[in-house]
Structures are given as C-alpha cells and as structure tokens.
Chains A and B, each alone.
Chain A
Amino acid sequence: MEALTSLIHGFGVLGDPMNIVYMFVGIFLGVLIGVLPGLGGANGVAILLPLTFSMSPVSAIIMLSSIYWGALFGGAITSVLFNIPGEPWSVATTFDGYPMAQQGRAGEALTAAFTGSFFGAFVATLLLTFLAPVIARFALNFGPAEFFAVYLLTFCSFVGMGKESPFKVISAMMLGFALAAVGLDTVTGQLRMTFGSAELLRGFDFLVAVIGLFGVGEILLTMEEGLAFKGRSAKINLRVVLHTWKELPRLWLTALRGSIVGCWMGITPGGATPASFMSYGLAKRFSRNGARFGKGEIEGVLAPETAAHAAGTSALLPMLTLGIPGSPTAAVLLGGLLIWGLQPGPLLFVEQKDFVWGLIASIYLGNIAGLIVVLTTVPLFASILRIPFSIIAPIILVVCAVGAYTVHNALLDISVMLIFGVLGYLFKKLGYPLAPLVLALVLGDMAESSFRQAMLLSRGSLSIFWANPLVAILVTLALAMLFWPLISFVTERFGRKRPQMVPGQ
C-alpha cells in the first residue's frame, strides 16, 4: 500500500527528538487550554501560532495540532468533575459524566472519556491516512469552478445543517466574507473598504477575530453566569483504569457508531459539537440501558467523546486535501500553513510529502501521548480549575491581548480583538453562529479568487457551474443544502396534512 509506505516515511520525520518534545509540550498546553474557560482549541492555537513562526513548518504543525488534541482531551475533565463543559463539544459529556462523578465514579468516567476520545481519533486518523491521498489525487484535476463549488457546498452546509436561523447563519457568514475582502485586492490592486485608513490596508486578520470571538466573548459569557467552581475530586489510579478498560470492549458498537458519526460530521463542516450530541442521542436510542442515560451511564460518556474526537480529527481531512477546514480550529491551522508558506490543497500531497505524512504520523503518536498525559495529570488540572475566576480571568485576557498583538505586531489589533469579543458575546446570546463567520473570514479570499477565475473562464456566464457532471453535482448539492430549511419547512407543513406525501429522501 502506497499510503503505508508514506506513513512509515512520516514516522521517520518524527525521529527528530525535538519534534517529540514539541508534541508533549503541545499536548500539555492543549489540555490546559481545554480546561480553562475562555481558552479553547481555536483561540488557543491562534494565540500560540505567532510563537511558531521561527520553527520549521513540520515542528510547528506538530506542536499546534498536539495543542488541538490536548484541548479535545481536556474538555472532558471539566465536564466530568465540575459539570462545566470546557469546550462546546463536551456539553453532552456532562449529561452522564457528572452524575458518575457524584456517585464517586469520576475515575471510571474519565477513563471512558479519554479512551473513547483516543478510539475516535484513531478511527479518524485511519480514515485520514487512507482516504486523504485518494481525495487529494482526485482533487488535482479540480479547476476553479470545481473549487468554488466545494466552497459553496461547505458554506451552504452551514445553512442546511445548522440549528440556528438560516438567515442568521447567512448574515454571520457574509460578515466574514465582507471582512475578508477589506484591504488590498490582490487581482486589481485596488483598495476595498479601507475608507482612507492606512491601518485597514492590512485587512482583518482572522486570528485576531478568533481570539476575540472565542476568547474574550467566552470570558464575558462565563462572567455572566457568575461561575463558582465546585468540583468533585478525582481519584484516578491504575486499578480504576484497568477495571474500566475491562468493561469497555463490551461497548464497542457504541464507540464505533460514535466514530462514524464523528468522522462524517468532521469532514462535512458539521463539526465536533453536533457530532457529540448526535452520537449521544443515537447511543441513548440503541442502548439496552437507554432509560438510565443521564443518571450516570458509562455509555453516555463514551458516545459523545468518541464522536467529538473523531470529528475534530477528521476535520483535518478536507483541510489538507482541499484547503477547506472542517472546523474553526482546523481553519486556524490552515491559516498557519499559509503563514509558513504552504498552500493547502491537493498539491500539498505532491510537493510537501514530508510535511503531510509527518503530520499524519504525529496524529497517531500525539493521541497516544495525549492519552498518557491526561490519564496521569488529571489531579493537576483539576486543581488548576479550583483557582478562583478572579485570578484566572485577567490572566486569560492578558494572554488574549498578547496573542492578538503578536499576529502583526499591531496595537490596533488588540482593540479589534476587544470589539470582536463584544460581538462574540452578542452573537452567542442571539444565536448567530461563529463558525461560519470564522470560516468565511479564512476562506473569503480563496473563494473569491476561484469564483473570479471561473467567471473569467466562462466570460461571466454562471453556466460554468453546470458545465460538467462533477461541478453540477456539487453545486446542486450545495443548493439543496442552502434551501434545506425551506424544504423541510414545506414538507413539514404539507406532511402533516397528507402524510403519504412525506418521503423526500
């Protein structure tokens, strides 16, 4: 198998001991980020990104992706011990994790969560290893029209699959596109929407936006809830771990189902959060103990964690092969690639073999390292959470300010971050989704240039988007996604009157 030889080559890249050190540093920082409120995968990676400018791209991506794995693991700790989801994707973990902790089974719950995470990530990494090169080779033939169609599908999926109002999804997304367009137009050299300001020439950097929206916004939301951390103590030792591991193989079907749901939601931009809820819901429906869910059932911890971690990992698949990230954190990693001078997309697999396979190999090792780190350091991180919020909050805000500044060494960016923070707070409260905004901000320029190139090829005719079967299928799927809320609204209306008309699958 070609993928296998490439993978072995990738492990060779990891032979550099410094890369292993970066991996552990990344995992540790990631768990810390996952545990602290206001710092999450996306903005944590965004803040640390400037620190990696001086590293080699391979070391940098290994450290940054390890932060991401760490954050995915870390979210479970707060969910189980404190009933506070450290990350949105661990909300579903609180349903059964916290009751288990209350019954004194915190160790079991954590072991199940971590092992589930590991399993989900492992399945997703296998998928990445074998599917990514195939997709990349396929995508090599893509022209601008095909790329734009894929972008369109990505963005329309947010409308079709989001649970927010479709109009709000579109508004937030368009705001992202508009902000991405600010500054110098690279094709014509004209200034767009700078309104005579030299500071706006640079445009809006999505890293600053991410730090503001997810970091500052989250702190403001946390403050509103007036957090008082009252946690359960965690006793996790080898006996508990081994005992739980003996139990887990019984639940292989739940874990596998969670992984599949997660992989699917990660590749399509559904993301880890809906994946975790969906997996929890499916496990509840199919489990023999379904009725006991919510009262401390180990399956209820395993299911969402497996899906969340599988989704988080498989979000890298479209990011690497097509240059389209499946989650905000993957978007930040993509921004990193661009800064290091790597163009994500199918050519990456041809031109940067070392980089791609080094990264994929590091995901395998990173998750093993992550499992070891979290299993051994739970008490440490739990004690960090007992530090009062009035000490943690100013430190996090300082870190956010530092992160925003270092992106471009621009003081104005700190103020921009603050404005995005307030926007993030308002948007969260009013149900405007943040993920499409961030993705549009990252992909805006690329989506626009592929649109322009496609339009140039067709001399301004939209017919190019139906010119061949592939692009036609993509665009039609995208439009179906876009109008999905409308379609489901109509079928619901008429379905109630005439139930025999319902099937529309």
Chain B
Amino acid sequence: MAHTGEGSEHTVSNRTMELVVAGGFIAASILVMYDNWRIGARWVEDGPQAGYFPFYIGLIMFIASATTFGLGVMAGPDHTNFVERAQLKQVLQVLLPTVAFVVLIGLLGIYVSTTIFILFFMTWLGKYPIYKAAPIAVLVPLFLFVMFEIWFLVPLPKGPLETALGY
C-alpha cells in the first residue's frame, strides 16, 4: 500500500480510510434496511409496522454514506497519511493489551485481570521496575473491591480467585 515519496511512515491514506468507513456505514445501512423490511416496514390497517421507522433510518443512512463514499471516490488520489506508523504502533500498544484485558475479565474476573493489566502496562510500556508497579497493581483492584462490593453493593465480575476466597 505504501506510496512512493512518503517514506516508511506511511500507512494508509485518509481517502482509503474514508472509503472504508463509508463502506462500513453502507453495509450497516443495508443490514438495517434488510432486517426491517423482513419484519415489515409498511403501513397496515392498525398503523405502521415494527420496521417502518428503522427502515427509513436505514435508507437515509444509505443515501448519506453513499454520498460520502462517492465524494471520496471522486476526490482523486490522496497522498495524505491517516496515521503515522509510529503513532499506529502506540495506539496498538494500548488497544491490544486492552483487548486481552477484556478477554481476561471473562476468565479471571475483573480484579485479577486489573492487576495483570496494570502490571503489564507499567512494566512493558512505562518501563517501570516491578517493585514500583506492583503496589499500584494491587491497590487499584483492592480499592475497586471496597468501593463496589462493600460500599455501593454493586457486584463486579469475579473469577476463580474470588471463589476460592469465599466471594
């Protein structure tokens, strides 16, 4: 995908991303129109059917995003950069651990996952020694536990460790 003259920093052009996102909108609008037409989007004896309002929402979304798409196509070649490689790397450095964190919550509960997440984040991205990261990684979930489970009586997702401790 790299255009010449942009160096190694180039990822994708703004125009490409415009088209991808507008395309996503078009796909979503077709899905909306399809499903609402299926359940009925017409006017019947007792008034509008369930899909009546959302169908037109889908239609308007289709027209608007198709226009954005069309404008993007007509704009011609574009050498701007959506995001620099280094920036993308930084974004992914946050995004991927967060995805892992969300998956972990389902397996280990939120408290243990939080400890692992903060430890990882601070030692790997922040380059902190483990003895500096550990207290924060333990205190934050502890604080959450006290605040939610004891103070406000709102249960948060728990895993094997909490079960072993009797919660």
Q: A: which residues have CB within 8 A of B?
A: 50-51, 53-54, 165, 167-168, 170-171, 174-175, 177-178, 181, 185, 187-188, 190-193, 195, 216, 219-220, 223-226, 388, 390-391, 393-395, 397-398, 401-402, 405-406, 409, 411, 414-415, 418, 421-422, 425-427, 429-430, 432, 448, 451-452, 455-456, 460
**For A188, what are the chain B residues with a Cβ–Cβ distance below 8 Å?**
49-50
Complex CA distance for A471 and B32, rounded to whole angstroms: 30
Contact A406 B156 (CB under 8 A): yes
Complex CA distance for A94 and B159, rounded to whole angstroms: 45
**For B153, what are the chain A residues with a Cβ–Cβ distance below 8 Å?**
54
Q: Which residue of A lies closest to B54 (CB)?
A: A181
Contact B110 A402 (CB under 8 A): yes
Complex CA distance for A409 and B154, rounded to whole angstroms: 9
Complex CA distance for A406 and B148, rounded to whole angstroms: 10
Residues of B132-167 contacting chain A, CB below 8 A: 136, 140, 144, 148, 152-157
A171, A190, A397: the one contacting B101 at CB < 8 Å is A397
Residues of B103-155 contacting chain A, CB below 8 A: 105-106, 110, 114, 117-118, 121-122, 125-128, 136, 140, 144, 148, 152-155
* Contact A175 B43, CB 8 Å, known A390-B122, A398-B140, A418-B99: no
Complex CA distance for A456 and B54, rounded to whole angstroms: 17
Residues of B45-91 contacting chain A, CB below 8 A: 47-54, 57-58, 60-61, 64-65, 67-68, 71, 82-83, 87-88, 90-91
Residues of B1-40 contacting chain A, CB below 8 A: 14, 17-18, 21-22, 25, 28-29, 31-32, 35-36, 39
Contact A393 B121 (CB under 8 A): yes
Contact A192 B82 (CB under 8 A): no
Contact A193 B32 (CB under 8 A): yes
Contact B94 A393 (CB under 8 A): yes
**For B152, what are the chain A residues with a Cβ–Cβ distance below 8 Å?**
51, 54
Tell me the dominant secondary structure on chain B's binding face: helix
**For A448, what are the chain B residues with a Cβ–Cβ distance below 8 Å?**
53-54
Complex CA distance for A50 and B154, rounded to whole angstroms: 8
Contact B148 A220 (CB under 8 A): no
Q: B: which residues have CB within 8 A of A?
A: 14, 17-18, 21-22, 25, 28-29, 31-32, 35-36, 39, 43, 47-54, 57-58, 60-61, 64-65, 67-68, 71, 82-83, 87-88, 90-91, 93-95, 98-99, 101-102, 105-106, 110, 114, 117-118, 121-122, 125-128, 136, 140, 144, 148, 152-157
* Contact A192 B154, CB 8 Å, known A395-B118, A418-B98: no
- Can you list 30 residue pairs at the A/B interface with Cβ under 8 Å? A51-B154, A170-B61, A171-B22, A177-B57, A178-B28, A181-B32, A185-B50, A190-B39, A190-B50, A192-B51, A216-B98, A220-B91, A223-B91, A223-B94, A226-B87, A390-B121, A390-B128, A391-B126, A394-B122, A397-B98, A398-B101, A401-B110, A402-B110, A405-B157, A414-B105, A430-B21, A448-B53, A452-B52, A456-B47, A460-B48
**For B155, what are the chain A residues with a Cβ–Cβ distance below 8 Å?**
409
Complex CA distance for A181 and B49, rounded to whole angstroms: 13
Complex CA distance for A394 and B48, rounded to whole angstroms: 48
In whole Å, how far is A342's beta carbon from the nearest beta carbon of chain B?
Answer: 21
* Contact A168 B68, CB 8 Å, known A401-B105, A402-B156: yes
Q: Which residue of A lies closest to B51 (CB)?
A: A192
A185, A223, A398: the one contacting B117 at CB < 8 Å is A398
**For B53, what are the chain A residues with a Cβ–Cβ distance below 8 Å?**
181, 448, 451-452
Interface-central residue, B68, B83, B122, by most chain A CB under 10 Å: B68
Contact B54 A177 (CB under 8 A): yes
Complex CA distance for A505 and B132, rounded to whole angstroms: 64
Contact A455 B54 (CB under 8 A): no
* Contact A452 B122, CB 8 Å, known A223-B90, A406-B154, A414-B105: no
